[in-house]
Amino acid sequence: MATKNNRSWVEAPVVESEILAAALDAESRRHERPYVPPKRPFNFGRWFGATGWRHVVGLVVVVFALFPIVFVISSSLNPQGTLTGSNALFSQFGLESYARILTDPQVPYPQWFANTLLVASITAIGTVFLGGLAAYSFSRMRFTGRRFGLISIVVVQMFPQMLAVVAIFLLMSSISDWFPAIGLNTHIGLIMVYLGGALGVNTFLMYGFFNTIPASIDEAAKIDGAGHARIFFTIILRLAAPILAVVALLSFIFTVNEFAVASGGIGGNHDLVREFWPERMGVAPERLLSGVPAHVDGRMLPIAERAGARLVNGDRMWHYTEGITNWDPVWPEHGIRILPGPSSLWFDAEGRRLPVPLFPGFDTLGTLEHIVATGHAHSWFVLTQKIIEKEFALSGSEQNPDLTGKDLKLLADRLGSGAPGPVEAFKQHGVDFVVADTLPELFDGMRAISPEVPIDTDNIEREIVARDRELENEFSKDLQLTAVRGARKYRGDKLIRVATPHRILDPKAGPLIAVKLHVLTRKSLGGIQTDLDSRALASDGAVVPGLYAVGEAAGFGGGGVHGYRALEGTFLGGCLFTGRAAGRAIARG
């Protein structure tokens, strides 16, 4: 009988035999050939039904996505330099377009591209940061007004952003008065507008994603002593990386792709004004005043044309003949337009009275054509203090602080005695004003500020005396006096716009005033031709992808739908309606 002490001796051979048997079995299996199922012949139909169709769909999607890129590359290598002229891919090859945008000082493309990247990148980063903070607050915190805030975000997104354009512009204009560095025409101001416009929808998008992150993670972090800031920056942002990347990408793409041309005016570029000056108007004046800032130089028009847009009606422009030199200029050759009443006598540079019906405020383009035909670039108003007090208004928001500032006290001053403050300032400081008590003194002053042109002062005196004589006859045949009396039949004009008819040489109405008037550049009625959605059209009528034209760039309406003698009051409506059409089209995608 085996005992406890000799049990290992008895069991040892059994264990060793089991190990040996396992080793032999493994060795035999190593030499055995593995089982291989019989290979079935390839069946294309079976493969296509199971897997192949996925490859086809993938290839179609890739080609669909890459074709626009290939088309743009082909267009960029086309010497014609237009998208519409590149129907055949790589039919022509040239690097002229690249050389032009990289070397042409008039087209500083590298600077534009750098500005675009800067603005788009900062906008994307700011959108993610601000939207993330707002979304975290709505998702993780409970406070009064939280539900109302969420509903407000959804409701606001139902309205097109174009509805806020005027309000945003006025807001940025007011900011410019106090903080010019972040106002209009600044990168920071543009970024602020982009951030405000995209904050609502992105906040709601991230809010939904934050709600999918378990709140237990926050609670565990709070147990370890973490506050909201630490939880947000070290935990939530890492877990929410997918939605943050989507928001940043969408914000960047939206900022880069937004391109509506609204800088088509040419009034600040006198060389371009002369180039497009209509033949029916004769030769453009040698000296012009600028009624618009220097940056209104028409640079975007040829750039848009090179991109494929069609420019039409370039000779349709609206310039004024009542321009005076600004005694406190903001830009070079800064001029202000007088908005005159009908009573001033209008003479050309040599002292001849303008013919009927070219009275002050009647026919701008007719007067312009007549003045240019005289061979001189200026003309004269002769009037009295009584006329200037009631009939002179100046164009420009800064010249009408009572209206733009909604100041009722200043507005009431228009009804009192004396000229409005801005008008009186021009009378005292303006280089184009002559003030005198007698006609000889007035004529001496006119000759002093216009020595290059001989003035027939005898004729001016005859016209003034004849006009005063006609005033004594209630049934006068002087058509200008008839127009004055007709205008005063309207109560509004009688109260604040048209002076009581009186003799120019009446000492009680004095002193006498002469104003030298220049041609003032202002509006372009031609521009980029567009369809009814403000999309730029090419020469063949095709839509130029992604390019919209509004306001003056579109001639205030589709590339100059206005006639040669269009009413100037239509320009504001054209700005608003073309902008609205473009905004709606962009929103529709």
Q: Dump the DSSP string for 212-245.
A: TS-HHHHHHHHHTT--HHHHIIIIIHHHTHHHHH
**Comparison of pLDDT for 221 and 44, the residue scoring more:** 221
Distance between CA 291 and CA 524 in Å, rounded?
A: 12
pLDDT at residue number 6: 47
From 250-264, 278-292, 506-520, the region with the lowest mean pLDDT: 250-264
**Comparison of pLDDT for 485 and 92, the residue scoring more:** 485
**Confidence label for 566 from pLDDT (cuts 50, 70 and 90):** low
Question: How confident is the model over 102-111, as pLDDT tens digits?
Answer: 887 766 778 8
pLDDT at residue number 355: 93
CA dihedral sign of residues 543, 547, 548, 554: negative
pLDDT at residue number 435: 95
**Confidence label for 526 from pLDDT (cuts 50, 70 and 90):** confident
What CATH code would you report for 109-258? 1.10.3720.10
Q: Percent helix, strand and coil across the chain, each rounded to 5? A: 55, 10, 35
**Confidence label for 4 from pLDDT (cuts 50, 70 and 90):** very low
pLDDT at residue number 415: 64
| pLDDT tops 70 at residue 30 | no
Distance between CA 147 and CA 189 in Å, rounded?
A: 31
| pLDDT tops 90 at residue 385 | yes
**C-beta of residue 391 within 8 angstroms of C-beta of residue 340:** yes
pLDDT at residue number 2: 44
Contacting residues for 111 by C-beta, under 8 A, at least 6 apart: none
**Confidence label for 500 from pLDDT (cuts 50, 70 and 90):** very high
- The number of CA neighbours under 13 Å toward the Cβ of 187 is 11
> Quick one: tokens of 147?
């539900």
* For residues 214-233, average pLDDT: 89
Output the CA–CA distances (angstroms, integers) from residue 182 to 5, 122, 124, 200, 410, in the order listed. 98, 15, 18, 22, 30
**Comparison of pLDDT for 521 and 557, the residue scoring more:** 521
Question: How confident is the model over 114-142, as pLDDT tens digits?
Answer: 888 899 999 999 999 998 999 999 998 88
516 sits in which H/E element: strand 512-524
pLDDT at residue number 514: 96
Question: How confident is the model over 32-58, as pLDDT tens digits?
Answer: 666 666 777 777 788 888 888 888 999
Distance between CA 251 and CA 202 in Å, rounded?
A: 9
| pLDDT tops 60 at residue 3 | no
pLDDT at residue number 258: 62
pLDDT at residue number 570: 66
Pure H helices in 360-456: 364-373, 385-391, 401-404, 408-413, 421-429, 439-449
Domain locations in the chain as residue ranges: 49-99, 109-258, 348-366+377-516, 528-588
Q: Dump the DSSP string for 389-415.
A: HHHEEE-SGGG-HHHHTT-HHHHHHTT
* For residues 393-407, average pLDDT: 73
DSSP secondary structure code for residue 113 in this structure: H
